[in-house]
Amino acid sequence: MPIQPGTPAPDFTLKTKGPEGLRDVRLSDELGKRNVVLLFFPAAFTGVCTQEMCDATQFGEFQKDGTVVYGISADTPWAQEHWAKLHDIGVTLLSDYRREVARAYDCVWPDLAGLGPSAARASFVVDREGVVRYAEQTPAPSDSPNFEAIRAALASL
């Protein structure tokens, strides 16, 4: 069960990879400035995860109010960068290679297809003050997040 609304969002620092190279992204750097959507997903280069990140890319309204959207998986930043280029994914992807952030948000699948632990498909809306206002973990890795509920949570902030 993921951490619940009303809970302070655990801070983190994760790597992302872009044309400029590796850089750190810290949740605390966003606080006080904008709302944050965190989309945990099990693995790059899989059908449902590709669809999820492509769908999230299409939700431009997430960003028009200053909201930032991050996709988080245990894939390496280099794999995430390649995957994003292949599919025109416009969401900033963050590497939780050690699965520490997924554990902090309590959204880990213990065994994904016999390959060991992975991030569950989970979504969180964190307000500018750093409080989780929406939390969802899908029942199965093959399920998509509820983007309508995420949109409604953002509209209520």
Our answer to whether residue 49 is catalytic in this structure is yes
Which residue, 130, 138, 58, is CA-closest to 91?
A: 58
Which residue, 42, 61, 36, 68, is CA-closest to 132?
A: 36
pLDDT in tens, 53-67: 888 877 666 666 779
Q: Which of 49, 68, 74, 119 is catalytic?
A: 49
> What pLDDT is recorded for position 64?
67
Other Cβ atoms less than 10 A from the Cβ of 106: the count is 16
Strands, E, within 1-157: which ranges?
13-18, 21-26, 36-40, 68-73, 92-95, 108-109, 118-119, 122-126, 132-137
Mean pLDDT (whole number) for 130-143: 93
Which residue, 22, 16, 19, 20, is CA-closest to 101?
A: 16
* CATH superfamily name and code, 37-155: Glutaredoxin (3.40.30.10)
> What pLDDT is recorded for position 34?
92
